[in-house]
Amino acid sequence: MTESELPLAGSRIQRRLAAAAIDLFYRQGALATSVRQITEACGMTPGALYNHFGSKDELLYVVVRDIHLRLEDEVTAAHEAVAGDPLAELRAIVGVYVTRHADHQETARVANREYHLLSGVWYDEVVAIRRRLRDRLADVLLAGHKCGEFHLVGGDDRSAAVLTAIPILDMCVHLSEWFHEHRPLGPTDLRDRYVGLALRMAGARPD
């Protein structure tokens, strides 16, 4: 597992435990994964986990939260680099989503499948990140509609922008469920095609 897939912070042992947890959550789901399995994968006793995380649930929260935060950081950077041009902004956001979900399938699947298991403030925090990402794209779509670059289905208000942003992001997220390096379509072509699909969904004017 690469550095870009591990949690954003923590001690060396915390990151080892997180890496083991991600692998196990990816292969068998968080519910079916025990503390013993996670610690054994790191060559530790079960009690060692509790020196670094309050529970398996807290470890799941940290892993899922940080995967989402990493995506948000990359989306924000790509978006801000082309701010002011809705077409370029849409291309940038979709490009990051496609790359993260095609190239980092383990973390993408864990984040999107397992966040539902969180509860309370942990769940609320992750949902808030997901909502910020959705709203960022909705803002781009609405701005593009207002300046004539896009033509949104269903009207010219924010609800139309949100209802377009959701399926665009969903199609990118589901890449992690089927795409792999042995597919005939390479990552660059895949990204270009998904950007093209997103532009059509946004009603972008033909070149």
Tens of each residue's pLDDT in the chain, 207 residues:
555 555 655 788 999 999 999 999 999 999 999 999 999 999 999 899 999 999 999 999 999 999 999 999 999 999 999 999 999 999 999 999 999 998 898 999 999 999 999 999 999 999 999 999 999 999 999 999 999 999 999 988 999 999 999 999 999 999 888 877 666 677 788 899 999 999 999 999 766
Q: Report the C-alpha gap between 33 and 119 in whole angstroms.
A: 18
CB atoms within 10 A of CB 76: 15
Cα-based torsion angle of the residue sequence 207, 190, 169, 67 in order, rounded to the nearest 10 degrees:
-140
pLDDT of residue 192: 93
Q: Report the C-alpha gap between 72 and 76 in whole angstroms.
A: 6
pLDDT of residue 182: 67
pLDDT of residue 7: 60
Which phi and psi (to 5°) does residue 112 adopt?
A: -85, -25
Of 104, 93, 97, nearest to 140 by C-alpha is 93
Structural tokens at position 166: 């959701």
pTM exceeding 0.75: yes
pLDDT of residue 101: 93
pLDDT of residue 44: 95
- Helical H runs in the chain? 12-28, 35-41, 56-81, 86-103, 105-114, 120-146, 158-173, 187-201
Contact (CB, 8 A) for 198 and 165 = no
Contact (CB, 8 A) for 176 and 109 = yes
